[in-house]
Each structure stands twice: as C-alpha cells, then as structure tokens.
Amino acid sequence: MNTDYILKLLEKLCLADGTSGDEGTAAKIAAEELEKYMSVTRDKLGNVIGRQEGEGTHFLLDAHIDRIGLVVTAITDEGFVKVGACGGVDTRTLDAAEVVIYGRKPIYGVVSAIPPHLTKSGENKASDVSDIAIDIGMDKETAEKYITPSDRVITVSKFNKLLGSKVSCAALDDRAGVVSLLLACDMLKEKGIKPNLSVVFSVCEETSGSGAKTSSFAVNADEAIAVDVSFAKQPGVSEEESGMLSKGPMIGFSSTLDFEMSKKLVSVAENKNIPYQKEIMGGRTGTNADSIAVSGYGVKMGLISIPQRNMHTQAEIIDINDVINTAKLISEYVSYRMEEC
C-alpha cells in the first residue's frame, strides 16, 4: 500500500457510519480489504474475522471497527429528535453540531443550541446527553415517516489533511487501528511470510466490549496484539497522561499485559529503527486488551496505541506516519517471533 492508498482507505472508513451494535457499513469495507490477504467471515455479533493458516505460534491482531455516536430515543411534539449516547460521547462538542440520522433514509439535522444571550452565567446546556435535541426542520408527523427510536446518529465530519502527515476526522478511533492491521498484513505478504494468523475487527468496543470477548474466545490464539488509539499531548493534557503525536506508536506496559511481550516489542522497535514510545498504565488499559488477555485459558497480550488528539470528537487528529510505524512494528514483531520459534 502506498501513502495515497492508505489515506483514501482511512478516509473511506472514517466517513462510514457504524456505531456500536450497527457496524455493518464500516465492517463491510474492512472485510473487503482483509479478503485480499486471508479468508474472512463475520460471526453472530458482527465481528470481522480473518484467518490465515500457518505454522507455529497462533497470533491474534485486534482493532475495533465501531465508532461512538447517538441513538434516537424519542421525537417530541415539536418535531425535535431526542437521543441517548452510543459510546462515550463528549456532549461539550455537540452544541450546534451537524449530524446525520440513519432512519428510513439518511436525514440531516443540527443539534439545537440556546443562544448565549439567553443562557445564564455558567450554564452548560449539554451537561447531559438527555438535554440534547436535534432540529431536523420537520414536524412530528413528518419526522415519524423517516425516523424511529433506535435509529443511529453520527456527527457530520470531513476528512482533512493537515500540515505534514497529520489528518483530522471523526472515527479515527479506531479506524486508524483497522488500517494499521491491514497494512501489517500487506507488509507480511510482501515479506513472503505466512504466519498462523487471525485478524479481528471487533464490534462494540465503545460500549460493552462484547466483540473482543467473544471473538478472542473463538479464535483461541497463543499471543495477541490489540491496536487502539491513546492520548497525545495537547494544551491541557500533561506529559504524564499522554504520548507525543508523530513520535511513533505507544507500546503499552500494564498489569493486564504480558511484561516480556511488551519488552520484546520495544526490542524489535529499537533493532528495526522504528520510532516508539512507552505508555505506562497501572492497571486496566481501557482497551480490548483487557478482555482478550483473560479469554479462555488466557492469552499473552500486547497493546500498541496510535497517539491521537481530540479523542471522541468530530475532529480527532493523528499522524499517518504513526499508523504506518504501528504496522511496521507488528509485522516485524510477528516475523521475529516466527524466527524465534
């Protein structure tokens, strides 16, 4: 994959809908790409599972395909659409946000915002998701022809190229991780290496984590690497709580993760001159790694995170080179482990 192809694929995935529990559109795109490298199925929950038979250690690579969003809960008598959260939505970013409601057909809407002239000092209209009302310009009778409770809602976002190799869009969490795994598969293929490999694009990470729990049990791998995003340094975020954008993938160290595996990932990065950062966590990682590690009889678990600013907003920011270096690290680690075994 060249850089232009990577960017186009990432844009296509990020602009697709696919909130937790309704990942179909994005999952279909990802599955079609994964089929270039291995056989692909979708399980009962909707996980995309790729399988390549090989010898030796059975590796599992996981990245979640779902994105955060909203779900329609009601239509008011005035025709405004009320919603609930589908994942960790940051309501601070939603006043006057443009959205699309996936009803009988896609319906454009705008989150209602009270003019500052009419708000009291310190009042935060969107302090709770239940306060949100979406204006679709319809009365209730008309709205009910197109929209029903349970329909999913996502914010309107553009895929923007920033200076250098940085890009901005919604759903880079974790469509960037999905692209990194596809790129790792491409790199392994170019090397002529055929590991014993399963690749999962898991559902529902932003809500229950059920996709990783069930798929990792079914796959029953020896070792696993989860790829997600993590916090990158920006104003208001301390160095202790973040990595640096453009400085390479963040290798996780946590009681959830296999210590020796984390150290080997560092060793591979250093030997292959792949830029990397350490991410130190005292306990749970807050990613699919927590579930995969305790699946079945247990799985040796590693975590690699792509640094990201503005997480869970419609303007997340990553560096495409961090995605590429994540893929390089995975492909080199798998190659190293195959030689070692």
CA 338 to CA 341: how far, in whole Å?
Answer: 5
Give, in order, the Cα–Cα distances in Å from 328 to each of 146, 147, 191: 46, 44, 12
CA 187 to CA 92: how far, in whole Å?
Answer: 40
Task: Name the DSSP class of 202.
Answer: E
Q: Name the one residue in this structure whose structure tokens are 């995975």.
A: 330
Active site residue 144: no
CA 215 to chain centre: 16
CA 243 to CA 266: how far, in whole Å?
Answer: 15
Q: Which of 169, 206, 182, 160 is nearest to 66 (CA)?
A: 206
Cβ–Cβ < 8 Å for 204, 211: yes
Cβ–Cβ < 8 Å for 174, 27: no
Render 153-188 in DSSP notation, one character per residue: EEE----EE-STTEEEETTHHHHHHHHHHHHHHHHH
Q: Which of 187, 185, 252 is nearest to 225 (CA)?
A: 252
Task: Name the DSSP class of 243.
Answer: B
Q: At 215, is the secondary structure helix, strand, or coil? A: helix
Q: Which one of 205, 223, 279, 316 is the catalytic residue?
A: 205
> What stretch of H or E contains 265?
helix 259-271
Q: Which of 209, 168, 104 is nearest to 308 (CA)?
A: 168
Which active-site residues does the annotation give?
205
